[in-house]
Amino acid sequence: MKEENNILKETVAEFCDKNLDEKKIESEGITHGITELLASQGFLGATIPGKYSGSELDNTSYEIILEEIAKNSPSVAMKIFILNSLYYPSVKGTSAETTLSDAASGKLNVAVDFINRANDIKENAGKLSGTLINVLGSDAEKIILFNENTSIISGPFGYSDRDFMGFRGIKFGDITLDNTATVLDSKNRKGEILEASYGPLSAIALGMISGALQKAIDYTSVRKAFGNYLKDFEPISFRLAQFRSTESVLRSALYGEADPYYVFNLAMESIVEIARYSVNAHGGYGYFQDFGVEKFYRDAIVMKSIFYGNQELRKLAEHVYSEKINFV
């Protein structure tokens, strides 16, 4: 990694240590004050063009930011990802592109409907009515609706909160559209946008793996059982060492020239297993929020369920065979 990348890595890590209270974010959400801090550092507009007050960073710098922040708060990393990897490419070249200035400055919240569970959505002269169910970022002013097309919807909206297992720093719930919501743009971009997101998603996964593993290593270094430190028991230390090896290989692949399809596959196949073991290494304490490791497991499950399913495996298989496959 280049010297400037290492400096950026250290700078972001220092920012997280000083400004991101991981427990508070999990319980109270990403506050307006945190959003302002993220905007002032240029994180919210990491890849957004400079003409819209964005940082216009290269992919490596952007992924470093996501990785370092995800070590502390996967929710904050996901918020940055939604703005830069989903919203920016969705509005690029459309009438909504000018809203990127508000996105980069922290004045615009964006919701994403990944699940596509809608009740009676109807469109009349560009206005929508109905209810979007289980939306990430439900208190937003704009929505990315990933259905057959990639639709950008502008509010105002009504919303109601739901309990959600993962990314608790971001509001989650149902959004009510009452003929005031406007479809700003609708194009078939979903596959293209998500494939371009493999690198950033891998960076978030890597940060979560690193954060979970470090907590497990720290805990097993000081906790004793039967008069010995937990790290002295071979099954524990061997397993954590193997996972650290996976983390190291994944980091080298992400910031090297490895195929993004393979990096993404490795990240998604590893994240839940490593996060789960990191929780288990704490014993029963791993499930207490005070230890800060259980959030990685929750967020890992949600992240994998949203971004890594049969569709992604089909793409990987076709990438390997370099041709379209008629799956049966």
CATH of the domain at 292: 1.20.140.10
Domain of residue 305 covers: 197-321
**For residue 326, is it within any domain?**
no
Give me the pLDDT at residue 201, please. 97
Confidence of residue 117 (pLDDT cuts 50, 70, 90): low
**For residue 71, is it within any domain?**
yes
Over residues 49-72, the mean pLDDT reads: 97
Residue 129 DSSP label: E
Confidence of residue 264 (pLDDT cuts 50, 70, 90): very high
Over residues 109-119, the mean pLDDT reads: 75
Residues 101 and 215 in one domain: no
Token match 């996964």: residue? 205
What digits encode the pLDDT tens for the residues 158-187? 888 888 788 999 988 888 887 767 777 777
| Cα–Cα separations (whole angstroms), residue 126 to 109, 184, 189, 302 | 21, 8, 19, 32
CATH of residue 42: 1.10.540.10
Residue 71 above 70 pLDDT?
Answer: yes
Residues 303 and 230 in one domain: yes
Choosing from 188, 214, 247, the residue where a domain stops is: 188
Q: How many domains does the chain have?
A: 3
CATH of residue 167: 2.40.110.10
Confidence of residue 115 (pLDDT cuts 50, 70, 90): low
Lowest mean pLDDT among 85-89, 284-288, 307-311: 307-311
Confidence of residue 46 (pLDDT cuts 50, 70, 90): very high
Over residues 3-14, the mean pLDDT reads: 96
Choosing from 188, 207, 242, the residue where a domain stops is: 188
Residue count of the chain: 328
Residue 136 burial by Cβ neighbours in a 10 Å radius (0-12, 13-18, 19+):
buried
Give me the pLDDT at residue 147, please. 64
Residues 141 and 90 in one domain: no
Structure tokens that stand for 166 in this block: 């993962």
Residue 185 DSSP label: E
What digits encode the pLDDT tens for the residues 194-211? 899 999 999 999 999 999
Residues 205 and 313 in one domain: yes
**For residue 328, is it within any domain?**
no
Choosing from 47, 81, 105, the residue where a domain stops is: 105
